[in-house]
Structure 1
Amino acid sequence: MEEKKEYSNGEVTVVWQAEKCIHSTNCVKNNPDVFQPKMRPWIKIDGSTTEKIIDTVNKCPSGALSFYKNI
């Protein structure tokens, strides 16, 4: 079964799909205040600005991270 988790800060929701993750660590390198793989939950959505979160998610090479804006 597909593991899919969502994390929202009210402005944007980040979606993580575990089976797509290739562990490139782009998310951790680009935004370590949000993406903290040793913590649970590992995405601390309030750790950064929405703009920086979106920029980081867009750098995910596998598509494991995606986002949608909340209306």
Structure 2
Amino acid sequence: MEHKEYTNGEVNIIWKPEKCTHSGMCVKTLPKVYNPKEKPWVKPEHATSQELIDQVAKCPSGALSIKKEE
């Protein structure tokens, strides 16, 4: 399974495109972080780690997950 990782230095957002149902929950919740029209489309530096964790927990498809930096 292919995935992409985006980090803010504290947490990594892992995106699995094949699981994504494009509900738009990420874009609606944190529009400064998620912008599908830009590359990269995920910019985790535009939110706190806790905001990212809270938002990813709302992803209905499970396409987004969090991995904390070691």
Q: Does TM, scored on the shorter chain, surpass 0.5?
A: yes
2:26, 2:2 → 1: CA distance?
A: 18
List 4+ stretches of structure 1 deviating above 3 A: none
Percent identity of equivalent pairs: 53
* TM-score normalised to structure 2 length: 0.95
Question: For the aligned residues, what is the CA RMSD?
Answer: 0.8
Instruction: Give the SS at the match of 1:33.
Output: coil
* TM-score normalised to structure 1 length: 0.93
Name the residue aligned to 1:8: 7
Instruction: Give the SS at the match of 2:42.
Output: coil
Name the residue aligned to 1:35: 34
CA offsets 1:34-61 (integer angstroms, 9 cap, x no match): 0111101100110111110111100000
Name the residue aligned to 2:62: 63
1:61, 1:41 → 2: CA distance?
A: 22
Deviation, structure 1 residue 68: 1.0
1:13, 1:55 → 2: CA distance?
A: 13
Gaps of 5+ in 2: none
Deviation, structure 1 residue 3: 3.0
Name the residue aligned to 2:47: 48
| Count of paired positions | 70
